[in-house]
Amino acid sequence: MRASTSANWRRPAALNDQWLDHLYVTPDAQGHGLGSALLNHAKKVRPGLLELHVFQQNTGARRFYQRHGFVLTALGDGSDNEENLPDAHYRWRAADEPTGGPAEDEPITGSAGDRR
């Protein structure tokens, strides 16, 4: 499933098996822990493994996921997504979770602060 920015605000997060298909927090709601809460809930629902894609240019989202224990596994040239934008594949496993917990939320930038 690929990102659909027009519908993201209606469903702030969606899981499809181990894939976090999107996680979207409107810009005015960012920085208040909502993204962290949604992501932590997804980790509880899928405690063994979560994977996601994010656009490479979305550095805020990339930092957010890295702070929450996601590890970069591959970079893509965009040929596998509708937007044809270079993307990054991240993976989280419970065993990889850093101690001390994640840092405070940072705004997710870009037109789609979701799976891309």
Beta-strand relationship, 71-76 and 13-16: unpaired
How high is the pLDDT of residue 66?
97
* pLDDT of 87 over the 70 cut: yes
Tell me the domains of the chain and their CATH numbers.
13-96 (3.40.630.30)
Q: β-strands 13-16, 49-55: how paired?
A: unpaired
Nearest Cα neighbor of 14 from 5, 24, 6 is 24
Position 112 confidence tier, pLDDT thresholds 50, 70, 90 = very low
Please, are residues 112 and 55 in contact by the beta-carbon 8 Å criterion?
yes
User: Of the candidates 36, 16, 83, which has an alpha carbon nearest to the alpha carbon of residue 56?
Assistant: 83
Which pLDDT value is given to residue 102? 43
pLDDT in tens, 17-27: 999 998 988 88
Cα–Cα distances in Å, from 21 out to 53, 56, 88, 99? 8, 16, 13, 26
Q: Which residues contact 11 (CB under 8 A, 6 or more apart)?
A: 22
On average, the pLDDT of the chain sits at 80
**Which residue, chain included where needed, has tokens 């596998």?**
80
DSSP class of residue 82? T
Of 5 and 65, the one with more pLDDT: 65
pLDDT confidence of residue 22: 87
**pLDDT of 98 over the 90 cut:** no
pTM over 0.75: no
State pLDDT tens for residues 45-64: 999 999 999 999 999 999 99
